[in-house]
Structure 1
């Protein structure tokens, strides 16, 4: 779980998921109120996770899966990705460039 760079307290999984799903650059710490940002390495890692549902589409065509199976597979992957993203969230106290 991410740790605030200002107060050093860990964010809960629920708080992390709420902050990530808002798609905002700034994230306010619930403990100290300071603004935190997602680190560059964390941003790169989580953006790779978002690609997993897209990558599975060619495999579903290759194995000739039915549209219902593909939809259920994609939904399951999306849920797993969203549930895992807070574990890879790292915080920094300054806004870092993407590259």
Structure 2
């Protein structure tokens, strides 16, 4: 789970999901940023549903089933996202 770099409090899964788009600490109300290493990991994590779609085409699954699987994978990834999120006090460049 992410830990605020300002106050040192560990966020719960629910708090992380609620603040996923603004990343403001629920304890000290300071703006937090996703660390560069976390952005790289999460970017690769979000590619899984897009990689899975061509595999589905190879097995000749229907389009509806393929999209359903991609949406379900998206929800699973969103649920696991708080476990890979690392925070920073300032926005870090990718390099």
Common topology (TM > 0.5)? yes
Q: Larger % of strand: which?
A: 1
CA distance in 1, matches of 2:4, 2:50: 32
Q: Tell me the residue number matched to 1:11.
A: 11
List structure 1 runs of 4+ shifted beyond 6 angstroms. Answer: none
**Do structure 1's residue 80 and structure 2's residue 69 form an aligned pair?**
no
**Do structure 1's residue 90 and structure 2's residue 78 form an aligned pair?**
no
Pairwise CA RMSD: 1.2
Report the TM-score when normalising by structure 2. Answer: 0.91
CA deviations over 1:3-28 (Å, ceiling 9, x no partner): 011111111111212222x2x5xx22
Instruction: Report deviation, 1:42.
Output: 0.5
- Structure 2: tracts of 5 or more residues without a match: none
CA distance in 2, matches of 1:33, 1:73: 37
Q: How many residues align?
A: 95
Alignment of 1:3-82 (within 5 A): 3-20=3-20, 22=21, 24=22, 27-82=23-78
CA distance in 2, matches of 1:84, 1:36: 19
- Structure 1: tracts of 5 or more residues without a match: none
